[in-house]
Each structure stands twice: as C-alpha cells, then as structure tokens.
Structure 1
Amino acid sequence: MKRSDPTNHAVAARHLHAERIPAEAMLRYMPSAHRALAPRPGLRDVVLQLFSHRSIAEPILVPAVAEPLLVMVLAGAATVEERDLGGEWAATEVEVGDFYLTNSAQPYEMRWQTRGGDTFEVMHLYLAHSLIDQAARDVLGAQADSVNFRDVSGGRDSLVRVLLEQLRVELVEAREPSPLFVRGLAQALSVHLVRTYRDPLSTTRRANSLQAYKLRRVIDLMHERLAADFCLADLAETAQLSEYHFSRLFKRATGASPSQYFIRLRMARARQLLLDTDRSVIDIGMEVGYSSPSHFSQVFRREVGMTPSAYRSPERA
C-alpha cells in the first residue's frame, strides 16, 4: 500500500500507537460484519478473517499488525482511500481478485466507497513470521536476514489470487481442513511473496528481536495456558532467556509486552466463544482465566470497548 509520508506531526503524535496487535485483534478495528474462524490445532501459522464492508465516509485507524497482512477482494468493487497519519489521501479502484499487502510498522487511515452495490467482501490472511523466515532462507540462503515486504495497494497477481482462494476454500468450506495442505499453500505463498514483493532496502523489521522459532514456541504455550495465571518465568524458560531479556526481545518482535499479548489472546478466544457458542459469560470467562465475572467484564470492556454481553448481542445492549 503506497502511502505518502506524514506531514502533520501533531496529528501523528495524537494517534500513533507503537504497539503491533496480534492478527486476531484486528476484528475490533473493522466497523463491518465479520466472520472469524475458530482456531484449529496445527493451523496457527495462518489466520483467516472474512469481512463484508459497506461504504464508510469517516476514516478508520488501522493499527500495525505483528504479522504480514494480505487482503483480497472476494466480491463487489470499491474505491479505497489510504493515507499515513496526517498525510494526503491516495485512492485505488479495486474489484474481485485485487489484493493488498502490508507489512507496515505504523498505523494508517482508510475509508472506502462501494461501487455498483451496497457491500464488497474481502478476506484477510495473516502469515506467521516462521513461514516468512523459512521462505527467506529457502529463497535467499540459510543466512538470510529477516525480510520486509513492499506495500501493495490494489495489486493483481494471478498466483497470489489462486493461492489465497485455495486457502479460503480449504479453511472455510472443507469440513476437516488439512493442516498439511494449508501449510503447503501458505509456504508456497510465502515463497512467492519473498521472491516478488521483498523490499531490498528494508531488512530491519525485527532486528535484535526474539527468534521466530522461539516466538512461536512461546505463543503456542500461551494458547495452551489461557486459563492459567500468566507466568513470565515459564515463558522465559521456554525461550531459554532471562525474564528481562525475554520481555525486551518479545516486545521488539510483537510490539507488545508478554502480559499484554497474553491478555489479547485471551480476549480473542473469548470473542470467538461469545459469538460461536451459547455458553454463559461466566463459563467463557473461566475458560480464559477469569474466575471473577466482574474482572472478566472489566478486562473485556477495556480491550474490546464493550461488555461481553453487549458484544454477543449488540442489538440488546
């Protein structure tokens, strides 16, 4: 996504957030109907989200995400405008099959106007750093540095389109998605992105941050222990680092402290359970580690912007 440099530093200072959010947290920033797939064992390297967008005149602030993000138009067409904070708007006409690629470390603003209909539908796909790092080593050699990607707005690439569509079909339509097939498609897509869209001038995305395989181990452990108390010592031990160095490197890799990231994983799981099950708010709170309903509601409201009950049934809130 090509954007102008920010020119209004007062606006940038007021809105800029240094933290990068995990992929699952993007749902609360998109003012659109959405569908998030339930997490499945073996499929954590790929996160897929589906959105149905109506026209939006007021800009929304899109935060930087920890993982590279691909967006493809599935249905409809729109004029999409983007800008850096305080910068000039840049418009792109998009239709079915067009895609966006962003690896931005900074938040930015978007707005859009649909064409020829009330809505247009898009899919978001996030690729884990472990996949990108593996692809970089395959393409560039075993000693390759971490890579960054060029921003692409409204791009057209037949291979990207085919691979994204196959991932959507497997993850959304297959009764039992195959982790092996999904990972193979994601690996092929990662290799193509490194070959075609790597930014040769930017190799400092995660310099001096936690190594990808250690980051994945830590995040997997967080997922396994959502109902348990947060334990920095256990996470640091998994990464084979002191607590101080682990915390510092983890935040460099993700933009969030380990405890902040853990809370966001809990809230992502809670949102999924609230939307996809009829379980009580109390039960859901206990599953993600909150024995006190009031504490769960307080944290959920702080992170999501509304109470668990309102999130589940906004029309009755």
Structure 2
Amino acid sequence: MAKPNILGMKTMSEEKILTVDFTQKDAYSEILPRSPIITSYHTKWEGLRLDIHQQPAHETPEHITQQHVISISLKPTVVKAERVFDGRFQDENIVKGDVAIIPAHTHHISRWQSDADFLILSLEPAFFTRMAIEAGNLENVEIKPRFAAPDPLIQQIGLVLKSELEADSQESRVYIESLTTTLCIHLLKHYCVTSETNLYYPKDKGLSHWKLRQAISYIQENLDKDLTLLDISKEVGMSMYHFSRQFKQSTGSAPHQYIMNCRIERAKKLLTRTNTTIDQICEQVGFQSQSHFTNVFRKLIGITPRAYREQVKI
C-alpha cells in the first residue's frame, strides 16, 4: 500500500466525505459491508448506542461521524489494520480488548486485512458535554483521537453493556445509565483536552439526610416501575452524575445495586407473608421476566424464590 496516497483512498477534493449519524437505524450501510449482528438502537438508551459487528476484511470510505465513537476489539486473534485520523496514518496490530476513540467530526478511514469482531459505542456529543459540565463546569472540552490500544476500563464497560443488551432486561436501565456516566467521566479524565488547567471533581460528602430520604422514598414507591437514574436524580433536583456519586457515598451502594437489593427484599417479604404467586411477585417488584427475577434472587440470596418460600414456611 502506498503511504502517500493513504489507504488508496481518493483525496478530500476528489470525493465527498460521508457523514454518518448513529441516530439513524441503518447508519452503518455506507461504511461497512454488513449490518450489526446486535444493536441497542431500538432500546433508545440515553445518549448511547451499542452495536456488535462481525465484518469481513474491509476498507471504509473516508467519513466523519456526528457522534463520538469508541471501537472495542472482540477478536481473539490479532487483526492487522491501518487507520487515518485527519490525515495522520498509523499501522495497527489490534488484539482483543484494544480500544480506538474517534471523536465526532474527525475525518476517519480504517482498513483491516482479515475478519474482525468488534463492538462500537456511539456517544452523543450533547450528552457528553452535559456530563462534562456536571463534572466540573467545563463546556470547552474536546475528546482526542486515539489509535487502537488497551484500556481495561473501557473494555470492561463495553463488555458489561454488551451483556446487558443481550439479556434484554428493562430492569438494567439504571445500571446502563451509571455505566454511561462512568464512561464519560473516564473519557474526561484521560482522553480530553480543555482550556482549563485541570478538571475539577468536587469531593463527595454524600447526600443530605433530606435528599437521601427523598431518594429512598421515591425508589420504594416506584419499585414496580421502570426506574431510571434520570428519574431519581430529577426527583431530588440533582444531575445524574452528582446524584450517583453522592448516593453511593451515603449508602455504600451504587443506585442500580440499591434498587436491585430493595426489589429482592420486597420479594422476600411477599414470599414469606403472602400467597401471591411467584410470577405476580416478579411483576410487583419490577422485574420484566421471571427468569431474570430468579437469577438475581439466587445471586443475592443463594437459593431460588421457590426454595426460599418453602424454606421460610417450614
């Protein structure tokens, strides 16, 4: 491949640069040969889309995206590749877990020489900017492009989000929102430049007693509903970022963990004190499927709901 004519592509003056918008269902059709095998498009996650790909050897046309894009390799073997960011070229030997970051509106070309399995996270710039402002009152934050290299935290976040998507559980929305927030803060700390000398992260002191009572009451009153982190944080008049951090400081548990524990505790009471069927209890404590309810109950209590009921009524 001749490096002066990078990746054999036409120059910007010879060919119009494609613009890709991941709010569109078929966003990948112009740059990849195959559609994603799994996508979160229909789940409408707040600020984030996840797509899982299995693609043959391919060279993308030069393009820009309207979202920040994070690519995580899932292929267990090395994939030889080449990438261009705004005219900067680099060879890549991509291994499982390697992460590439393509900021919104960055001119990008990628070519890989063999089959590739990868996960794409596309993050809405407006959502990211909101997280940046909430984290440190910074509006002029810019994500830096990053060629493929390891980042264990981003890899883990991607894999957990993939598992949640595959589980297809409505109860995981708070967890997904928490993971998205963590991803944003990690990007802010490690992959951003700003006019400020340092990002400011205020020391957490936990929620006030009043806000903590308000949050817990709201959670308890809505356990049967599709609770979201955004709903709870709005109830107490806080941003998702600050609420999540301070709630954990106050309770020792992240909001999604606390909600799950509350659901299981309520289920235990219903199993012990009523003759309500397990399927009905599942609905009353906010689980969308009995199998997920059983799995979470077993994970936290050590036995199934049915076995627990039999045990406590002996």
TM-score if structure 1 supplies the norm length?
0.52
1:1-317 mapped onto 2 (5 Å cutoff): 11-17=11-17, 19=19, 21-24=21-24, 25-28=26-29, 29-32=31-34, 34-37=36-39, 39-40=41-42, 43-56=45-58, 59-76=59-76, 77-83=78-84, 87=87, 89-114=89-114, 119-139=115-135, 141-142=136-137, 144-176=138-170, 178-200=172-194
SS at match of 2:84: strand
The root-mean-square deviation of aligned C-alpha atoms, in Å, is 3.2
User: 1:178: Cα distance to partner?
Assistant: 1.9
User: 1:185: Cα distance to partner?
Assistant: 0.3
Larger radius of gyration: 2
Cα distance in structure 2, aligned partners of 1:133 and 1:5: 35
CA distance 1:128–1:109, shift in 2 (3 Å) = closer
Asked if the contact 1:73–1:99 (Cα under 8 Å) also holds between the matched residues in 2, the reply is yes
CA distance 1:41–1:97, shift in 2 (3 Å) = closer
Amino acid at match of 1:82: R
SS at match of 1:34: coil
Q: Higher relative contact order by CA 8 Å / sep ≥ 6: 1 or 2?
A: 1
Cα distance in structure 2, aligned partners of 1:108 and 1:159: 24
User: 1:70: Cα distance to partner?
Assistant: 0.4
SS at match of 1:195: helix
User: 1:22: Cα distance to partner?
Assistant: 3.4
CA distance 1:106–1:157, shift in 2 (3 Å) = closer
Tell me the alpha carbon deviations over residues 201-260 of structure 1, each in whole angstroms, 9 at most, x when there is no partner: 79xxxxxxxxxxxxxxxxxxxxxxxxxxxxxxxxxxxxxxxxxxxxxxxxxxxxxxxxxx
CA distance 1:4–1:152, shift in 2 (3 Å) = farther
List runs of 5+ in structure 2 lacking aligned partners. 197-314
Amino acid at match of 1:122: F
Cα distance in structure 1, aligned partners of 2:189 and 2:88: 30
Cα distance in structure 2, aligned partners of 1:9 and 1:123: 25
Asked if the contact 1:72–1:98 (Cα under 8 Å) also holds between the matched residues in 2, the reply is yes
Cα distance in structure 1, aligned partners of 2:9 and 2:39: 38
SS at match of 1:160: helix
User: 1:20: Cα distance to partner?
Assistant: 5.1
